[in-house]
A and B are shown apart, each in its own frame.
Chain A
Amino acid sequence: MSKEIIVSPADWEPLDIENDLREKIWSTQRTFAEDVWFRFSHKKSAFAGLLIILLLMLFAFVGPYLTPYSFDTQTLDFSNIPPLMEVTNVDDNLFYITANLKVIHVGNNGKLLAALPKLKEDTAQKIIYYDFNGRELPLSYQKKPAAILNHEGKRLRRDNKVWNTSYWLGTDGLGRDLLTRLMYGTKISLIVALIATFVNMTIGMIYGGISAFAGGSVDTVMMRIVDIISTVPLTLYVILIMVIMTDGFLSIIIALSSVYWVTMARVVRGQIYSLKENEFVYAAKTIGSSQSTILFRHLLPNAMGPILVTATMMIPSAIFMEAFLGFIGIGIAAPMASLGTMCNDSIQALRSNPYQLFFPSLMICIIMFAFNYVGDGLRDALDPKLKK
């Protein structure tokens, strides 16, 4: 049963320990950035959010080059065509009847071929005759919905459904491709939000940094100003600024950038204020480092985590604010489009063409979710102690 284990007495002799060995660092340590990335990428929601943002960027910035349409080319014949069309089959030819009583010939693969030319209209019978390759095609609008009549004068049902392969997401009221406009709108919205956030971040960092760094009465006055600005709902300021300025790309960026820095300024000030009492800042002072070295080499880099988190969280609010402005009609001017103005365009025809509102709204939701998840993940990754 028992196995004999032979241990020579020499094995119990203590090893020579050198002093260097004792202080040696054994484990390979990750740098701070690697550490943050490790925690971030192991959080599923954050990683998914980042992936979605990257895909969205591709969609918005590369996508427009891949579609055959431009965001502002109008094809009035093909206005308000939905992505999924209910078509009438007449002798193996498919026809789509639009809301304003046009008949469009649709190929079997779902391509829109042509709008049929109108021959004559019988207002008494409420029938419009269209020409299809020399044949007469009667469209009755006596009863709703309008329907094509066969030889015997019977209404043909719209019983076939085909996907619109010419315009994957359909067209808007002016016959513009919604997919292209969605890409373009997403691009504009992202650009506006990113620039506004960047400007807010810069202003906030400088303002908050100076306020905390100077301290004393300078700090008190600067923070009172921030308090006063933030007592009025910020949305109101933005609307006022937009009303004063002409609506356009630049003015919306100015409006969004000039107001939201107060949050950032508070965050930065709080961070710097607590960091300022750290001994490494005192050390820099005793060394004789300049004020700007202390602010830019010591204080701000250490405050970067919360600053980045706040900035990431600011992007979705900027997107939403921009969309809101566009929606109430004081956003980007036509023919440029943002997600908000697209929602605004579609609201009049909401009943008949709900898809026109659906896609831009969905896009706003996706963007906001993605950025919020990334911001959440970033906060947890940067400061695991602060986990909610």
Chain B
Amino acid sequence: MKLLEVKNLIKHFPVKNHKGQVVHAVDDVSFHINEGETLGLVGESGCGKSTCARTIIRIYDPTGGEIIFDGQNLATLSQRELKPIRKNMQMIFQDPYTSLNGRMTVRDIIAEPLIAHKIGNSQKERHEMVAQMLKQVGLNTEHGTRYAHEFSGGQRQRIGIARALILKPKLVICDEPISALDVSIQAQIINLLTEFQQKEKLTYLFIAHDLSVVEYISDHVGVMYLGKLVELSESKELYKNPLHPYTQGLLASIPALDIHAGKITDKAEMSGDLPSPISLPSGCRFCGRCPYAKKICAEAEPPMKEAAPGHMVACYLYS
């Protein structure tokens, strides 16, 4: 059953001092996540992953498109109408340092969702719930009275996870929850998240900027490039058989997966930088960096097509 379905989501930011120009942060993105599954969303820095996540959870108002969560279109709801829905949809943030308020104790941070949704009858009851949550994320009760700045990055991310999970949401959007952490801590956090998923039947939208991280935890993986979804497929299939030249390039850039890269051909190595999301090239957005670019690629944007069963890709090589 689909828990979240995103249809043609668009988010444009106006450019300051340039009337009419916009940043195409998210441009016509569609995907869905089944209940209890994990969708990995991958792409380079600046390709619009965070914007996509923040628009789904309605930190930003979408420019266009639909966000259907639990059968309800969130795109058109007001903040007031959204409030009861927020209980079921939470987010873990990218930066463990700025995502916790430094003027609040850990206990107050984790209790904030309870207060906002009037859960728990007394302060004591809420503190009890917070203490339990702290234990579940691997911290102890005494940590509750401390301030966030006293903790390491990994511990801070645990606090962020506790805050997101205390409401027992259905969907958790993880916006690069581990990219700011040491490699040794990354695994711990991933394990914690998968543990919770199994225990609580959580659904994850898991964002990362390289494919190696998502491989282990995702059922499906979507690859974003410059505000567009360029490839979407089952996780195993994507790693075995990457179709889009950009995905191939991403895979080639993972050192541990050199065997794959060798199989793909060296041409897949990407060169050049991300074009500006303000003035986009006409045609395929990857065209300028693509080793297989044809004439048509510069003329019209390739549509998303099913190139193999359950394997969607937006590239003229496969149509």
Q: Footprint of B on A, CB under 8 Å?
A: 23, 25, 29, 31-32, 278-280, 282-290, 293, 297-298, 301-302, 304
Contacts and interface: CB of A to CB of B under 8 A. Distances in A.
Interface residues of chain A: helix, strand, loop or mixed (majority): helix
Given A278-B98, A283-B91, A286-B90, 6 more contacts: A29-B150, A282-B91, A286-B59, A287-B112, A293-B116, A297-B101
B59 A29 contact: no
A23 B113 contact: no
Interface string B24-62: 000000000000000000000000000000100101000
Contacts of B94: 279
B100 interface: yes
Contact of B87 (A283, A288, A302): A288
B147 A302 contact: no
A311 to B, nearest CB: 18
Given A31-B147, A289-B116, A283 B93 contact: yes
Contacts of A278: 98-99
A287 B154 contact: no
B104 interface: yes
- The listed residue with most A CB atoms (<10 A of its CB), out of B98, B100, B147, B151, is B98
B98 A279 contact: yes
A32 B112 contact: no
Contact of B113 (A25, A31, A282, A288): A288
Interface residues of B, number: 37
Given A280-B98, A298-B101, A301-B103, A285 B59 contact: yes
A288 B138 CA distance: 25
13 contacts: A23-B152, A31-B147, A32-B147, A278-B98, A279-B93, A280-B101, A283-B160, A284-B112, A287-B86, A287-B112, A288-B82, A289-B116, A301-B103
B275 interface: no
Contacts of A286: 57, 59, 86, 89-91
A285 B116 CA distance: 10
Interface string B131-173: 0000000100000001101111011000010010001000000
Contacts of A280: 98-101
B95 to A, nearest CB: 6
Contacts of B113: 287-288
B299 to A, nearest CB: 38
Contact of A289 (B100, B112, B167): B112
Minimum-distance CB pairs A-B, first 9: A279-B99, A288-B86, A301-B103, A29-B150, A279-B93, A280-B101, A287-B113, A288-B116, A289-B116
Contacts of A23: 138, 152, 154-155
B152 A283 contact: no
A282 B151 CA distance: 21
Contacts of B236: none
Contacts of B167: 287
A162 B116 CA distance: 73
- The listed residue with most B CB atoms (<10 A of its CB), out of A25, A32, A288, A293, is A288
B294 interface: no
Nearest to A299: B101
A57 to B, nearest CB: 28
Contact of B151 (A25, A32, A279): A25
A301 B86 CA distance: 25
A279 B83 CA distance: 19
